Amino acid sequence: MRVRGLGRDFGDRTVVDDLGFRLRPGVMTGFLGSNGAGKTTSMRMIMGVLEPSRGEVLWNGVPITGADRARFGYMPEERGLYPKQRILDQLAYLGRLRGLEAPVAKEQARELLDRFGLGERTGDKLESLSLGNQQRVQIAAALLHEPECLILDEPFSGLDPVAVDSMVALLGTFLRRGVSILFSSHQLDLVERLCEDVVILEEGRLAVAGTAQELRDAGPLRYRIGSTRDAGWVREVPGVEVVDVDGPTALVDLPRGGETEGLRRELMTRGVDRGMTEFARVQPSLAEIYREAVR
């Protein structure tokens, strides 16, 4: 799935502009951005719930159709199941709407509810479940019909760690079948753990997109320096950007390019006299990349 030049205006306000990225088969992509950055609006356009003002969504290289989208699994921000209906009936009905035979739909629904630890609650109304369990049912609704692509709006919010793990295991089975998954989240630790690809939106525009590894590699050349004494001496080396000094340890960034090697040697040479015990490359975490991108 690919989006190209996607944009949406509300009145004279542009909330998504010139958005482009792709989802790879069998890869989980994390969709990040501050509140109001435009993630939900983008997902709605991908799913055809909201008409784009500009741009297009491509599936297998051609503009996506309603029939293609019917084979997507979508968990909308507003969720969408009925609070007063029994969960198994509701899921089985949705499965039928998505083209499954009635017995298959019921079986699929039962199996998913079982996997989410809700096998005993199949006859209960949605509203009688805790919020986290309601969330599990909403997720199950997106997974019923063996989707080819999953678009999930904050699927992990409100889930306890055990529920997150069972959801992750379940999504893993979809990834292994080559399903593309896009999910939005504010939980950077989860995105870091789960996603090979990352898309970061800032005020409706693409700030960063790529594999998590590419993003880390494109970050600053950061080193951690450990000394037996105060590491403040790193400030004396011109051309080195000191990120932090905390007693005997320091974090420094070196510029990329011609000077890198010289500066590294300079730090090492000075460090030997200052009791340096560690000089190690550190890669930025996703949280650091995110903060840089949306600063």
Ligand X SMILES: Nc1ncnc2c1ncn2[C@@H]1O[C@H](COP(=O)(O)OP(=O)(O)OP(=O)(O)O)[C@@H](O)[C@H]1O
Q: Binding residues for ligand X, per CB under 6 A?
A: 10, 15, 33, 35-41
> Considering the complex, what minimum distance in angstroms separates the CB of residue 268 from ligand X?
44
> Considering the complex, what minimum distance in angstroms separates the CB of residue 126 from ligand X?
22
Do 137 and 78 form a contact (C-beta atoms < 8 A)?
Answer: no
Of 154 and 197, the one with the shorter C-beta distance to ligand X is 154
The alpha-helical segments, DSSP class H, found in the chain are 39-46, 66-70, 87-97, 102-115, 131-143, 161-176, 188-194, 212-218, 260-273, 286-293
> Considering the complex, what minimum distance in angstroms separates the CB of residue 51 from ligand X?
11
Q: Can you tell me the distance from the alpha carbon of 94 to that of 109, in angstroms, rounded to the nearest whole number?
A: 9
Q: Can you tell me the distance from the alpha carbon of 145 to that of 150, in angstroms, rounded to the nearest whole number?
A: 11
Do 38 and 201 form a contact (C-beta atoms < 8 A)?
Answer: yes
> Considering the complex, what minimum distance in angstroms separates the CB of residue 139 from ligand X?
17
Of 37 and 263, the one with the shorter C-beta distance to ligand X is 37
Of 30 and 220, the one with the shorter C-beta distance to ligand X is 30
Q: Residue 241: beta bridge partners?
A: 253
Q: What are phi and psi of 103, to 5 degrees?
A: -65, -35
Of 51 and 120, the one with the shorter C-beta distance to ligand X is 51
> Considering the complex, what minimum distance in angstroms separates the CB of residue 16 from ligand X?
7
DSSP-derived 3-state class of residue 50: coil
Of 41 and 134, the one with the shorter C-beta distance to ligand X is 41
Burial degree of 289 (CB within 10 A; 0-12, 13-18, 19+):
buried
Q: Can you tell me the distance from the alpha carbon of 261 to that of 280, in angstroms, rounded to the nearest whole number?
A: 14
The alpha-helical segments, DSSP class H, found in 47-101 are 66-70, 87-97
Of 32 and 144, the one with the shorter C-beta distance to ligand X is 32
> Considering the complex, what minimum distance in angstroms separates the CB of residue 100 from ligand X?
30
